[in-house]
Chains A and B, each alone.
Chain A
Amino acid sequence: MSAMNPIRRTAIRAAAAFTAALVLPLRALAAWNKEAFQAKTAAEALKSLGIASSTESKDVVIDAPQIAENGAVVPIEITSNVPNTKSISIVIEKNPFPLTAKFDFAEGAVPFVKVNVKLGESSFVRVLAEAGGKFYSASKEVKVTIGGCGG
């Protein structure tokens, strides 16, 4: 390489960088984190997500009904007001597989999501927001009932 023309070397580096820029967005797509999604406890799920610890924060806001008429569809609306939130993870503590979803937000995507989730039984819904390499959390209890005659 030392014998190469410096301009040509720059050009090659630029070309390599440009190619990497084309390839990178695809590689950057989060592959489904099997280990985390198959974890049977909230603690194991968090560990698989690389969340060693988190701070409770009022800036992580969960809007959900306290009582759900049916656990099959529980609407949850999450907003993170922590600046530079990169991702939001949802953990339903009493579910057989607590990790429910993880959303990564790029520049321009507001750290906000509304999603319908299943609760197998009354449970705390825990949300973890990632910002600046740290994790911020909030929790809300949702009680699940069965309406009507049931049968």
Chain B
Amino acid sequence: MRGLSLLGADAETDMAEPMKIRATLKGDLCDVRVLMVHPMETGLRKDSSGAVVPAHFIQEMTVKINGKLMVDGQISQAVSRNPVFSFRLKGVKAGDKLEIAWLDSKGERSQTEAAIA
């Protein structure tokens, strides 16, 4: 999975957490914020050598609670690099499982789960 990787002394390191979820429960309303690592390349940009950087962006994303689909998103290359999304879910309680997943234009996937605290 392509993401932020480090130029370290040894081999490159990929992000341990390609997605960071923060879910805050207020009563039964849950504020969900998700930070994703992704270049979201439009395919219209040229790199320093003048070559066009090929398009590579998240196209689909889902937000599920306890396996139930809550938000189904279709995304374009016009969403900013390293996307940050916020959603609001009702009827959520502590212990519920929040799962966020994405699929990108290269067929790459990522998925992260968190238990609502």
Q: Which residues from chain A contact B20 at a C-beta distance below 8 Å? A: none
A19 to B44, CA, bound (A): 44
- Could you tell me the dominant secondary structure of chain B's interface residues? strand
Query: How many Å from the CB of A62 to the closest CB on chain B?
Result: 14
Which of B7-15, B46-54, B64-72, B109-117 touches A? B64-72
Do the beta carbons of B72 and A30 come within 8 Å of each other? yes
Residue of A nearest to B40 (CB): A118
Q: Which residues from chain A contact B79 at a C-beta distance below 8 Å? A: 100-101, 115-118
Count the B residues whose beta carbon is within 8 Å of the partner chain — how many? 32
Query: Which residues of chain B from 69 to 83 have a CB within 8 Å of any chain A CB?
Result: 69-81, 83
Q: Is A136 an interface residue (CB 8 A)?
A: no
Q: Is B60 an interface residue (CB 8 A)?
A: yes
Do the beta carbons of B88 and A109 come within 8 Å of each other? yes
Q: Is A60 an interface residue (CB 8 A)?
A: no
Do the beta carbons of A103 and B88 come within 8 Å of each other? no
Q: Is B94 an interface residue (CB 8 A)?
A: no
Known: A112-B88, A113-B85. A106 touches B76 (CB 8 A): no
Interface size class of A (residues with CB under 8 A): 20 to 34
Q: Is A6 an interface residue (CB 8 A)?
A: no
Q: What 20 additional pairs, Cβ within 8 angstroms, besides A28-B69, A32-B74?
A: A28-B72, A29-B69, A30-B72, A30-B74, A32-B59, A92-B78, A96-B44, A100-B79, A101-B74, A104-B71, A105-B71, A106-B68, A106-B72, A108-B68, A108-B70, A108-B91, A109-B71, A109-B87, A118-B42, A118-B77
Residues of B within 8 A of A (CB): 29, 42, 44, 59-60, 62-63, 65, 68-81, 83-92
8 contacts between A and B (CB under 8 A): A28-B69, A37-B74, A95-B78, A97-B76, A109-B71, A110-B88, A110-B89, A114-B86
